[in-house]
Amino acid sequence: MANCSCILWCIFWIIILIFIGWPLSIFFGALYGFVAPLTTCVGLDQVTDLLLQGVNLGRTCAEYARTGKSLC
Protein backbone atom coordinates (compact mmCIF):
# COMPACT_ATOMS: atom_id res chain seq x y z
CA MET A 1 0.00 0.00 0.00
CA ALA A 2 1.33 3.41 -0.95
CA ASN A 3 1.85 5.97 1.74
CA CYS A 4 0.67 9.58 1.52
CA SER A 5 4.04 11.03 0.51
CA CYS A 6 4.35 8.54 -2.35
CA ILE A 7 0.96 9.59 -3.69
CA LEU A 8 1.85 13.28 -3.41
CA TRP A 9 5.11 12.75 -5.29
CA CYS A 10 3.21 10.82 -7.95
CA ILE A 11 0.82 13.75 -8.44
CA PHE A 12 3.78 16.15 -8.52
CA TRP A 13 5.52 14.16 -11.25
CA ILE A 14 2.33 13.85 -13.30
CA ILE A 15 1.91 17.64 -13.22
CA ILE A 16 5.56 18.08 -14.24
CA LEU A 17 5.06 15.52 -17.00
CA ILE A 18 2.00 17.24 -18.45
CA PHE A 19 3.22 20.83 -18.31
CA ILE A 20 6.99 20.45 -18.79
CA GLY A 21 7.95 16.90 -19.78
CA TRP A 22 5.77 16.35 -22.83
CA PRO A 23 6.17 19.80 -24.41
CA LEU A 24 9.95 19.72 -24.01
CA SER A 25 10.12 16.13 -25.27
CA ILE A 26 8.20 17.08 -28.39
CA PHE A 27 10.41 20.14 -28.96
CA PHE A 28 13.66 18.23 -28.44
CA GLY A 29 12.34 15.37 -30.57
CA ALA A 30 11.82 17.72 -33.50
CA LEU A 31 15.31 19.17 -33.07
CA TYR A 32 16.77 15.67 -32.76
CA GLY A 33 15.06 14.69 -36.01
CA PHE A 34 16.73 17.57 -37.84
CA VAL A 35 20.19 17.22 -36.24
CA ALA A 36 20.56 13.41 -36.13
CA PRO A 37 21.33 12.97 -39.85
CA LEU A 38 24.16 15.49 -39.51
CA THR A 39 25.77 13.66 -36.59
CA THR A 40 28.29 11.67 -38.58
CA CYS A 41 28.93 14.31 -41.24
CA VAL A 42 29.58 17.28 -38.98
CA GLY A 43 30.48 15.56 -35.73
CA LEU A 44 27.58 16.59 -33.52
CA ASP A 45 27.69 13.53 -31.27
CA GLN A 46 27.54 15.48 -28.00
CA VAL A 47 24.69 17.66 -29.23
CA THR A 48 22.57 14.70 -30.33
CA ASP A 49 23.25 12.91 -27.04
CA LEU A 50 22.03 15.97 -25.14
CA LEU A 51 18.95 16.25 -27.36
CA LEU A 52 18.22 12.55 -26.82
CA GLN A 53 18.23 13.12 -23.05
CA GLY A 54 15.69 15.91 -23.63
CA VAL A 55 13.56 13.55 -25.71
CA ASN A 56 13.57 11.05 -22.84
CA LEU A 57 12.46 13.69 -20.31
CA GLY A 58 8.82 12.63 -20.60
CA ARG A 59 9.75 9.00 -20.03
CA THR A 60 11.83 9.94 -16.99
CA CYS A 61 8.97 11.94 -15.45
CA ALA A 62 6.55 9.08 -16.08
CA GLU A 63 8.93 6.58 -14.46
CA TYR A 64 9.33 8.80 -11.41
CA ALA A 65 5.55 9.20 -11.19
CA ARG A 66 5.09 5.45 -11.36
CA THR A 67 7.53 4.84 -8.52
CA GLY A 68 6.64 7.96 -6.51
CA LYS A 69 10.27 9.08 -6.35
CA SER A 70 10.99 12.21 -4.32
CA LEU A 71 13.33 15.00 -5.39
CA CYS A 72 15.72 14.31 -2.53
**pLDDT, tens digit, 9 for 90 and up, residues 36-55:** 998 888 888 899 999 999 99
CA 23 to CA 21: how far, in whole Å?
6
**Which pLDDT tens digit goes with each residue over 60-69?**
999 999 998 8
3-state helix, strand, coil in the chain (%, to 5): 85, 0, 15
Residues 51 and 30: beta-carbon distance below 8 Å = no
